[in-house]
Structure 1
């Protein structure tokens, strides 16, 4: 029997049926008016799937910066639970990398898409594989899972507990201090910063601006890409 995770104050957990996507459940409950701070999760052995509902009090262009907070929360929780030699990095806008290979992602959705609009809700989901998706070793060399990286002592529920605590801590920092502190923590963990990238568009990833938008240089032109463009439509 899987032990129920313990959530920090201000967050509450709600388990979903095994074949239900916690992200989809969180969105449907957010539309219906569920309390901010509710974490929907699935009790699976092979993958951590969870989604946090937030009720921002700022325009979407600021609220969407909480996606970086969730990424930092995941990196810090893996750092606390995984062996010390296991590096965790980000690939903008939504990928998590462990030891240089893709090992999970974040998802996000809101009820508005206008950067200046005030959302009623924002849902941020995470997915982290624990066991290989295929029984053919090396079939997807750019992908990995936690067990292949030596994290055999970690369970999905333990990672969920840790993620909720670290994410809540960084949400507090974000609300108190704004994006700068989040940015300073996120930037060193992004391993494509300053490099040529192909996705989401070709160019040089210069960095993030004060609103958390990607600065992408193509020849002499620099354009901005917002996380809002990569939010899921509901």
Structure 2
């Protein structure tokens, strides 16, 4: 018997099955005018896929803070359910690392790509690998799965419910207090600051982020600002 998940007030769940993609379905639902707070999800044996529909009341450039909001919410959720030695870090582009290896990703999409326009909707998708595709993981040492990292007792449905709750807490805090608390917590779990990375076809040193979480990339004698809006996926 399938048990429907429980979400906090202001959020509602929409369960999918089979090969249906929550990220695509959430965008379609958002474009059709669904209420903000819809959480579309598909719990497969090897992956947790979900997406949340948001309706920002600020221009897209500021609304993109929902990407790190969802990441910090996930870290808080898994931290409450997993053993204390399990480490979660977040890459600027939405990649989730568990114990140093890539394990999942957050992906944004919006009704507009204009940074100065208030979007009708914003969708943040989550894909998390629960089990590795193969028992032979030595060929991809930088890839991992949740249950291969000491989290075998973490129930995927419970993790999804917890992520929704913690993300809602952070949305409310961001609305009331702005970016400062989010900056502080995100930076404490950010991966790659001070290292050389390649983003948007540019290679340089990842210095950190600006007030809107735009990436600061130091290249020789100049520093480039790469806004979060460059990460937006095209709507289906």
Aligned to 1:208: 209
Query: What is the DSSP-based 3-state SS (H/G/I as helix, E as strand, rest coil) of the residue aligned with 1:45?
Result: coil
Match of 1:221 in 2: 222
Contact preservation (8 Å) 2:68, 2:94: no
After superposition, give the CA deviation of every residue in 1:3-54 in whole Å (9 maximum; x if it has no partner): 3221011100011232100000000010000000000001322211000000
Q: Could you say if the C-alpha distance between residues 2 and 131 of structure 1 is closer, same or farther in structure 2, counting changes exceeding 3 Å?
A: farther
Unpaired segments of 5 or more residues in structure 2?
Answer: none
Q: In the alignment, what sits opposite 2:40?
A: 40
Q: Which residue of 2 aligns with 1:64?
A: 64
Partners of 2:5 and 2:213 in 1: how far apart?
31
Counterparts of 2:43 and 2:212, CA distance in 1:
35
What's the Cα RMSD here? 1.1
**TM-score, normalised via structure 1 length:** 0.97
Residue 74 of structure 2 corresponds to which residue in structure 1? Answer: 74
Counterpart-to-counterpart distance in 2, 1:61 and 1:25:
24
TM-score in terms of structure 2 length: 0.96
Aligned partners of 2:56 and 2:122 also within 8 Å: yes
Displacement after TM superposition at 1:198 (Å): 3.1
Alignment gaps of 5+ in structure 1: none
Secondary structure, counterpart of 2:53 in structure 1: strand
Aligned to 2:52: 52
8 A Cα contact 1:2 1:43, kept in partner? no
Structure 2 counterpart SS, 1:203: strand
Asked whether the equivalents of residues 44 and 156 of structure 1 are also in contact (C-alpha less than 8 Å), the reply is no
Matched with 2:124 is: 124
- Cα distance in 1 for partners of 2:75, 2:8 equals 18
Kept after mapping to 2: 8 A contact 1:45/1:155: no
Q: Counterparts of 1:99-110 in structure 2 under 5 Å? A: 99-110=99-110
* Contact 2:40–2:52 (8 Å) recurs in 1: yes
**Structure-1 separation of matches of 2:77 and 2:116:** 32
